Structure 1
Amino acid sequence: MELPASFIDYTRALLGDEEYDKLAVAIQQEPPVSIRLNNGKLKIENGKCRIVPQAGCITDFQLSAFNFEFNQVPWSSEGFYLDERLTFTFDPLFHAGCYYVQEASSMFVEQVLRQYVTGPVKMLDLCAAPGGKSTHARSVLPEGSLLVANEVIRNRSQILAENLTKWGHPDVVVTNNDPADFAALPSFFDVILTDVPCSGEGMFRKDPVAVEEWSPENVEICWQRQRRIIGDIWDTLKPGGILIYSTCTFNTKEDEENARWIQQEYGAEPLTVQVQENWNITGDLLPDNCEGSKSSIPVYHFFPHKTKGEGFFLAAFRKPETGDEIPVVSFSKEKTSKKKDKKGGAASSPVSKEQLNIAKSWLNDENSDKYILSAEGTSIRAFSKHYADELMAMKQCLKIVSAGVEIGEVKGKDLIPDHALAMCSSLLCREAFATEEISYKQAITYLRKEAITLPVTAPRGYVLLTYRHIPLGFVKNIGNRANNLYPQEWRIRSGYLPENIRILAESTVD
């Protein structure tokens, strides 16, 4: 890989010859592979290298990809390095939302949330696609919290929604908005994560395109864009709230200088994150008198020659409580109106009370009373009662891609269970459906959205398929075959199986 000359000159001056030479060697090496387990679906028990399905547990199984005791990402409770890259596309547990493939350094966001968020909050992940930090935050946030994950690019917001649906937590809203749109929600969020678009220096060894697109001019564009983004969303953070600012780049223009600007421009209080010395995290690289600042502030740099991961930068702040705060947004219902038919009357919903009752019977008794079931066109969704007013406020000014969990869709007289329900283990009532455990090859057939054949003993109707006793999705068994209800746009498009398949759990590919 040939690095841009301007990058070499700048970074060598920043780090010094010895440190830069080590970094240059690391950038030429293969990047480590890391994943993060979904603690809502899988558990590690007794510190052993075994994973147990949480819900409906019947068996446990041995990990094939790593040793639990020696391969954990030090700053993440559920993050692990893999000995080698898995065949992720052909691993049913990946599609079932049991783990997420995430770069290890970026898992450091967990430390801020664990150290500074102690009770239920409303959190915004502003630049969230494809969903690594959103799924991570959702796992770490205290129960009772609401996560809003936003992506400005429309097709990427669909990918974000897919990954969060597979992750399976019900208290999530996905939006497709420009940061400026959130100005309509003053003092709304307790925590905002801004993993801002950057020049991508920290991803050079993973992404050759990042090397090709890098230039000093792009760095200039990036740091200015980053400040505009912070300016756009600052008022939507509550007084006393937490702002997390992060990039995947090395240069101080996008990192330290912007962190100090946030401190000076908004009076933000820099927050210290407790770290271990052996994590080899690098602090502030700017002289104390840079940008008019009298002293350095706590910031956290990950360099691939020092930490096992890619380049990453993070700084955290608390918004001051000045006494002149912008009023909190009121949750008015005045702007909402019922849809009308062509004659001007209220449009009748295609969803009947009977179908709503059926949908409710598909939710487990433990959590069903905490969620409101509502009809949106032909779909039935479940959303937290506690955050119903907040959702209404967001609908008045934001483009909502998804909110809560889609339970099912009405087609004619049928209510068809939605794939999102299968993914949400905290809401799904397994006893409401016949269940069939399927083999690896059947699972791949299902994930390709091909018809599968169930045993003759399988009952007719909607059946929940499980792989290693973890829900994979629904089919409608009509006897001679089962109609596949897996989402068409999520299917595995490859028609072949690789010769050497490595998946998370030890398995003979039967």
Structure 2
Amino acid sequence: MDLPVSFADRTRSLLGDEEYNKLADALNDEQPVSIRLNDEKLSSSSFSLFHASSDRVPWSATGYYLDRRLTFTFDPLFHAGCYYVQEASSMFVEQALKQYIGETPSVMLDLCAAPGGKSTHARSVLPEGSLLVANEVIRNRSQILAENLTKWGHPGVVVTNNDPADFAGLEDFFDVILTDVPCSGEGMFRKDPVSVSEWSPENVEICWQRQRRIISDIWPSLKPGGLLIYSTCTYNTKEDEENIRWMHDEFGAEILPVDAPAAWNITGNLLVGEDFPVYRFLPHRTKGEGFFLAVLRKPEGEAAQIRYKSTSSQGKKKTGASKANAGTSKEQLLAARAWLLSAEDYEVSANGMNITAFPEEYISELSIFQQSLRVVQAGVTLAEVKGKDLIPNHALAMSTVLVSDAFPREEISYEQAIAYLRKEAIVLSGSAPRGYVLLTYKNIPLGFVKNIGNRANNLYPQEWRIRSGYLPDEILMLLKS
């Protein structure tokens, strides 16, 4: 790899000759492949790999390195949200959340969230009863974010499409804000060769200034005593340590340590004369791409009480409210509610011709979001109303709160699963019941069809379909035991 001369000079002065040469050599090695399991759908004890092996990512309870890249596009378990393909270094966010959130239900914002790796990870790590707001400023990327979070299946999620400045009205609102800010991408050189050609000293200058604007915009939305997790995929100190020092000086932020055993080979602070805790992943020292993380606490609050609850929801008894509109009936709402586990925990409501479920304890927060933000989706879409008919939505099939026997199930083969994911017509067995049927692959829900006897109408989302019409000669995928 031909690295930019300016980058080489800067990084050599930062690391020293020996360390820089090791880094440059590592950037010419093959990129590691890693995945993270969705343990609400596929536990670590129930999967294996086909013609491949795996090692644990030490800082993630559900992260695995793979010795070969799987054929992800043609793995039905990938489309079913059983795992996410995520760069291993970035999984270190888990350690910060576990250490400082613990079992305290929290309201968290992932500010720059697309395509969804850290959002799906945070949603898995956050305590039960938490709410995640995943935001992406670019509209088409916010749709990809929504797709990945839908497949992950947790109902306590809101997806928004907003600029950081749009959150200004939510003052002292979030317990945790993750800012994986846009950066110069030095840590992505091995993964994305385009980032090498786009790198320049001028771009580094643009990036650190943009990062400070983002932090300045979002800082008022963090509760006193709340946590800001700052991360980049770059090496230089301007975008990393110098921004952390600026947050300390500008906002009085306390820079917090994260437990990291020496065996993980994570590099600390590279600023001369500074010793505040930061965590830098270098590819020649840790198995992964370049990554930087620091955790800061906002002052002037009791750190042990980082839970936002509006007065309207405190002490509120869960009743499982339902709200109809002109296009839906009370009977339809009750029918959709019957598909939910712990239905009393959700408000089921009609939005246009869709019926959705959202955690009832956060209804007041959702109302605030809808008034001040562009909400792409919230909670779980249960069904579409067509006259007297309820068409179950794909999000319900992906959800972890679907009652297991709400619909008849039909186990299908690998070939049928791929045909379904291509949105092709499916023919079920003669014993399959008529009407709406939940297809499963390896006993994992894959999506709905409407069985009319001679064929089944495919209800898989058109925009999510596998577009490739061929199968590779060799298919590597996860196996569920």
Q: Please indicate the TM-score interval, normalised by the length of the shorter structure.
A: over 0.9
Secondary structure in 2 matching 1:380:
strand
Structure 2 counterpart of 1:198: 183
Q: Does residue 1:355 correspond to 2:332, yes or no? A: yes
Give identity over the alignment, percent: 71
Q: Distance in 1 between matches of 2:208 and 2:138?
A: 20
1:438 to 401, 412, 435: 412
Letter in 2 for 1:359: A
In structure 2, the partner of 1:55 is none
Shift of residue 63, structure 1, vs aligned partner: 3.3
**Residue deviations 1:166-211 (CA, integer Å, cap 9, x gap):** 0000000000000000011001000000000000000001101111
Q: 2:290 aligns with which of 303, 307, 311?
A: 311
CA distance in 2, matches of 1:276, 1:505: 32
Q: Partner of 1:477 in structure 2?
A: 451
Q: Which residue of 2 aligns with 1:409?
A: 384
Query: Residue 331 of structure 1: CA displacement?
Result: 7.9
The yes-or-no answer on 1:369 pairing with 2:344 is yes
Work out the CA distance in 1 between the residues paired with 2:310 and 2:346: 22
Which runs of no fewer than 5 residues in structure 1 stay unpaired?
52-61, 289-294, 334-346
> Which residue is equivalent to 2:316?
none
Q: Counterpart of 2:18?
A: 18
2:75 is equivalent to residue 91 of structure 1: yes
- The answer to whether residue 234 in structure 2 is matched with residue 249 in structure 1 is yes
- Give 1:226 deviation, angstroms: 0.2
1:395 to 370, 374, 391: 370
Q: Deviations over 1:361-420 (max 9, x none)?
A: 1113xx111001000000000000110000001111000000000000011221100000
Q: Normalising to structure 1: TM-score of the pair?
A: 0.89
User: Residues 67, 496 of structure 1: CA spacing in aligned structure 2 closer, same or farther, 3 A cutoff?
Assistant: closer
What is the deviation of 1:212? 1.1
Pick the aligned partner of 1:113 from 89, 97, 108. Answer: 97
CA deviation digits over 1:298-319, x for unaligned, max 9? 0000000000000000010111
Deviations 1:437-490 (A, max 9, x none): 000000000000001000111110000000000000000000000000000000
Aligned match of 2:280: 301
Partner of 1:291: none
Match of 1:494 in 2: 468
Structure-2 separation of matches of 1:114 and 1:159? 27
Change (3 A) 1:453 1:322: closer
Secondary structure of 1:220's counterpart equals helix
- Matched residue, 2:116: 131
The residue that corresponds to 2:305 in the other structure is: none
Q: How many residues align?
A: 465
Residue 158 of structure 1 is matched in structure 2 by 143
Please give the alpha-carbon distance, in whole angstroms, between the structure 2 residues aligned to 1:383 and 1:247.
32
Residue 144 (1) aligns with residue 100 (2): no
Alignment check: 8 A CA contact 2:310 2:364 kept: no
CA distance in 1, matches of 2:311, 2:202: 43
Instruction: Give, in angstroms, the shift of residue 351 of structure 1.
Output: 1.1
Unaligned ranges ≥5, structure 2? 303-307, 314-323
1:168 and 2:147 aligned: no
Q: Is residue 74 of structure 1 aligned with residue 53 of structure 2?
A: no
**Once the two structures are superposed, what CA deviation does each residue of 1:83-123 show, in whole Å capped at 9, x if it has no partner?**
10000000000000000000000000000000000210000
Matches within 5 A, 1:156-235: 156-235=141-220
Instruction: State the Cα distance separating 1:322 from its structure 2 match.
Output: 6.4
Name the amino acid aligned to 2:269: D
- Asked if 1:424 corresponds to 2:399, the answer is yes
Length-normalised TM-score, structure 2 = 0.94
For 2:196 and 2:53, how far apart are their aligned partners in 1? 34
Change (3 A) 1:65 1:169: farther
* 8 Å contact kept, 2:229–2:295: yes
Whole-angstrom CA distance in 2 between matches of 1:106 and 1:394: 28
What do residues 3-29 of structure 1 show as CA deviations (whole Å, max 9, x unaligned)? 111001111111111000000000111
Amino acid paired to 2:69? R
Query: How far, CA to CA, are the matches of 2:332 and 2:339 in structure 1?
Result: 11
Q: Is the 8 A contact 1:177 1:399 kept in 2?
A: yes
Q: Which residue among 340, 354, 366 is the counterpart of 1:379?
A: 354
**Per-residue deviation at 1:241?**
0.2
CA distance in 2, matches of 1:329, 1:148: 15
1:200-245 deviation line (CA, Å, top 9, x unaligned) = 0000011011111100000000000000000000010000000000
Cα distance in 2 for residues equivalent to 1:167 and 1:498? 26
Specify the alignment match of 1:266 in structure 2.
251
